[in-house]
Structure 1
């Protein structure tokens, strides 16, 4: 569970990120979930753009993937959301205590 200070730090890092992946009508399919899982492992902090064709809102999608991928919710703004998960090997992001 992220503290408010850690979440604020991650929001600052995510501010300059461009969305790495777009979620459309097939966003909850296994292939999309595997892609997002690999991105979290490689990048730790991932911004996702939710297209209008998606059956879920950004908040619903973020909560769905938090549960499914054992990730941490950072934020959702409009049609975008940000997730964080520390890499198993060689984590790059060091969270404040």
Structure 2
């Protein structure tokens, strides 16, 4: 799903008050962590992931790897914090995606 700049701006504003629920440490991004992030994004649609100081990972690389592995959007990368978004496939969890500004086509 390609997001417009207006949609990204909306998602950034929604994510501003969120606290990171995952931390990538010196072990890096493991398969188990990717799976858990995927499950969390399915239920919340919008989450933050932070990279600890002791990790060798780069935030841009982690964001790109998560985008590929989970087919989601990295809305924003600021320093060591990544904002991730993916519309939920289950209607009961679709809170943010229903508020998302529609593309004008």
- Relative to the length of structure 1, the TM-score reads 0.94
The answer (yes or no) to whether the contact 1:27–1:33 under 8 Å persists in 2 is no
| Counterpart-to-counterpart distance in 2, 1:84 and 1:68 | 13
RMSD (CA atoms): 1.0
Determine if the alignment matches structure 1 residue 92 to structure 2 residue 95.
yes
Q: Which residue of the partner structure matches residue 53 of structure 1?
A: 54
CA displacement at 1:60 relative to structure 2 = 1.3
Q: Which residue of the partner structure matches residue 37 of structure 2?
A: 36
Aligned length, in residue pairs = 97
Structure 2 residue runs without a partner (length 5+): none
Structure 1 consecutive aligned stretches of length 4 or more whose deviation exceeds 4 Å: none
Q: Which moved more, 1:23-32 or 1:66-75?
A: 23-32
Structure 1 residue runs without a partner (length 5+): none
The answer (yes or no) to whether the contact 1:48–1:80 under 8 Å persists in 2 is yes
Q: Which residue of the partner structure matches residue 81 of structure 1?
A: 82
| Counterpart-to-counterpart distance in 2, 1:26 and 1:47 | 18
CA displacement at 1:53 relative to structure 2 = 2.3
